[in-house]
Amino acid sequence: MLQRYRNFIRGVSVNWFGRLGVVLTTSSFISFLFLELLRLMGVLTNAYIGLITYLLFPALFAAGLVLIPIGWWKYRRQRQQTTRELLAQRFDETEVRPAAWGSRLVVTILGLSLVNILFMIGASMRMLEFMDQPVFCGTACHTVMNPEWTTYQVSPHARVRCVDCHVGEGVDALIDSKLNGMRQMFLAAFNAYNRPIPTPVHQLRPARETCEKCHWPEKFYGHRFLVNVRYALDEASTPHYTTLLLKIDTGQTAAGAGIHWHVGAHNVVRYASVNDQREQMIWVEARQPDGTFRRYENRRLDASPADAANVRVMDCVDCHNRATHIYERPEAAVDERIRRGLIDRSLPFVKREVLAAITNDYPDPDAAMTGIARHLEGFYQRNYPQTSFRQLDLIHQAVAAAQDIHRRNIHHHMRIDWNAYPGFIGHQRPSGGCFRCHNPDLQDAEGRFVSDDCVLCHSIVAFGDEQPFQYLAEPAEDDPRRPMHEYLRQEFLHFSRR
Ligand code: HEC
Ligand code: HEC
Ligand code: HEC
Ligand code: HEC
Ligand code: HEC
């Protein structure tokens, strides 16, 4: 067997082309198998090596396969002899002797072709599978995708593959995404892409197809209890707690409608926005299964008849636009680190100073890292030399946390600064969140508007308290609820003792 292969190789290595072809096919085939083995054993996980394994080696292999016949063709022209004569010269007589099922040479060629075809199919299947891995999407064009990769890895969807949200199912979607991918590769190679990358409003799979694989609207019912803590900019960074009961119902239950009403079965909300930012609405309309239809127009906008390109049926990502690529707002980011104990509140003015350090303008990441450290260390050295001396560890910890916030949210090379990608949940600036539609400017013919009543979406249970809200705080002596509270406490003690 090996002998026959060797004879064949010697036979086709007729000139420079033939020899190069043989070297290319054989070496890329062996390298592919070797790297694939290492990958299967889990030794290799790097996206670049994946690119080499699944793109470069199969490409070299195919190039080698093309070179061999070219070499033979040139050789024949040079010798001015027929193929039959040349075959007789280059191969053993036993190889070319005609047999019932073709000569041994023909069998060898057929056999090798079969191996080639199987190899190419196998390699391309592995390549497609590999290209669906988040580590490929996130790191193959490292600088371009780094912001999305960074935010993805710490998101609630870190175990969901990028393609599950970004690429549809079926052959069309596959071809579409690969064509789009090639276009993007060119843009990346020629440095011609937008910074920051615009949100793929028109390319995204319908969210109702993707998100509803795992979350379905009928499942949303009742309230979601939400406790927010904000730290003041004073010396003690005093906490203030706000507690909300978010009404997240779809409205399919007796309890009444809530936030997921927009995506409840058969309710359709459509809107036209001024641009893909989806922050300024031209009109909004709601259609319900019982035939109710309402259309609200923006009075403040002298809009031309809506630009059809920007009409959307509202779905999950019109609110959850930051379900995965979550960029923090500077204040919320600092509050979150203090809450988790990564920044210690015993450092005087720590909230104010960390906030100042991270929102400074820095020309590049290195400048940001040293700038943040210098700002915080300098502040405590100048104003609190005692603290600076005794609590040096805490200061270093705060510096590390502040640098981490900056690394996660600011990406200079993609021009991603604070608020480059604002979220739509809630009603903070700059996007306006729910108030993009829930505001008095959007009115129907009778002058009704999409409600902005504070209790439409949530009950505000506590606002700005210095203590976290407690469900069963002990009522005062003269509180009429006292007997009930006492009764519940006895019940609880009774059951917990059993
Ligand atoms: C759970 C679904 C989900 C997953 C998983 C996901 N994305 Fe996204 N991605 C989105 C949504 C939704 C948007 C659009 C946000 C909007 O509508 O404003 C988006 C936007 C983007 C954008 C445009 C920039 C932006 O932030 O708007 C890029 C680039 C991107 N995703 C890349 C990736 C990569 C790379 C991965 C995997 C590492 C990934 N995505 C995983 C849902 C997802
Ligand atoms: C493959 C399954 C899957 C898909 C697809 C998916 N999610 Fe999720 N999602 C999850 C899981 C699992 C969690 C819970 C993670 C946790 O609790 O840590 C989650 C959590 C969430 C949360 C709650 C986050 C929080 O902080 O509590 C939201 C909101 C959400 N997903 C929205 C979406 C949207 C919008 C889409 C479509 C763009 C989507 N999901 C697609 C599995 C999925
Ligand atoms: C009108 C805006 C809006 C739309 C549309 C919307 N959501 Fe939500 N969703 C919210 C808000 C607001 C919350 C509560 C946010 C919070 O917890 O901070 C929420 C909460 C969630 C949660 C967490 C629920 C829990 O029990 O903690 C998931 C999961 C979720 N949404 C998925 C979806 C999916 C999937 C869709 C599309 C079918 C969708 N949402 C459509 C606004 C929306
Ligand atoms: C694209 C426009 C749009 C956005 C954005 C939007 N809504 Fe709505 N919402 C509507 C419309 C339209 C109605 C129905 C108003 C009507 O005719 O009664 C509605 C109704 C509601 C209702 C009442 C449902 C009922 O019938 O009882 C709640 C609650 C609600 N929205 C919450 C939210 C929250 C929370 C957000 C932000 C996370 C949000 N909405 C964002 C358009 C929007
Ligand atoms: C259309 C729905 C809607 C309306 C109307 C609305 N809110 Fe909210 N609000 C939300 C949502 C959704 C959140 C939760 C955001 C989050 O998950 O962080 C929120 C959060 C809040 C918070 C906590 C945010 C924080 O940063 O501490 C406060 C306070 C609040 N709302 C007050 C109000 C007041 C006051 C009004 C009336 C003027 C009002 N809201 C009207 C949807 C609404």
- The encoded tokens of residue 153 equal 């890895």
Residues with CB under 6 A from ligand 3: 207-208, 211-212, 215, 217, 224, 226, 246, 248, 259-260, 262-263, 314-316, 318-320, 425
pLDDT on residue 342: 97
Over residues 165-191, mean pLDDT: 80
pLDDT on residue 303: 59
Dihedral sign for Cα 285, 220, 207, 155, please: positive
Radius of gyration of the chain (CA): 33
How many whole angstroms from 304 Cα to the centroid of ligand 5?
Answer: 32
Confidence of residue 210 (pLDDT cuts 50, 70, 90): confident
pLDDT on residue 188: 81
pLDDT on residue 103: 85
Over residues 307-325, mean pLDDT: 86
What percent of the chain stands above pLDDT 90? 44
The mean pLDDT value of the chain amounts to: 87
More confident of the two residues 94 and 437: 437
What percent of the chain stands above pLDDT 70? 96
Over residues 435-449, mean pLDDT: 92
Q: Is the peptide bond before 430 cis (omega within 30 degrees of 0)?
A: yes
Cα separation, 299 vs 441, whole angstroms: 6
The 10 Å Cβ neighbour count of residue 412 is 15
Task: Please choose from 131, 154, 162 the residue to mutate so as to test ligand 1's pocket, defined by most ligand atoms within 8 A of CB.
Answer: 162
Task: Please choose from 458, 460, 465 the residue to mutate so as to test ligand 5's pocket, defined by most ligand atoms within 8 A of CB.
Answer: 458
pLDDT on residue 191: 82
pLDDT on residue 405: 97
Which of 12-21, 145-154, 215-224, 241-250 is the least confident region? 215-224
Asked whether residue 235 carries a pLDDT value surpassing 80, the answer given is yes
Over residues 4-32, mean pLDDT: 89
Dihedral sign for Cα 209, 213, 219, 223, please: negative
Asked whether residue 455 carries a pLDDT value surpassing 80, the answer given is yes
Going by C-beta distance under 8 Å and a sequence separation of 6 or more, which residues neighbour residue 249? Answer: 220, 221, 222, 255, 256, 257, 258, 259, 260, 261
Ligand 5 closest atom vs CA 451 = 5
Which of 67-76, 97-106, 161-170, 297-306 has maximum average pLDDT? 67-76
How many whole angstroms from 238 Cα to the centroid of ligand 5?
Answer: 22
More confident of the two residues 168 and 327: 327
Contact (Cβ atoms closer than 8 angstroms) between residue 20 and residue 64: yes
Q: What is the pLDDT of residues 49-93, one digit of tens each?
A: 887 888 889 899 999 999 999 999 999 999 888 888 888 888 888
How many whole angstroms from 477 Cα to the centroid of ligand 5?
Answer: 34
Q: What is the pLDDT of residues 125-157, one digit of tens each?
A: 888 888 888 888 888 777 788 899 999 999 999
Q: Confirm or reject: Cβ of 200 under 6 Å from ligand 1.
A: yes
- Report which protein residue has its CA nearest ligand 5's atom 6: 454
Contact (Cβ atoms closer than 8 angstroms) between residue 314 and residue 267: no
Asked whether residue 304 carries a pLDDT value surpassing 80, the answer given is no
Q: What is the pLDDT of residues 249-286, one digit of tens each?
A: 887 555 557 899 998 878 899 999 888 888 889 999 99
Contact (Cβ atoms closer than 8 angstroms) between residue 28 and residue 61: yes
Asked whether residue 497 carries a pLDDT value surpassing 70, the answer given is no
The 10 Å Cβ neighbour count of residue 117 is 10
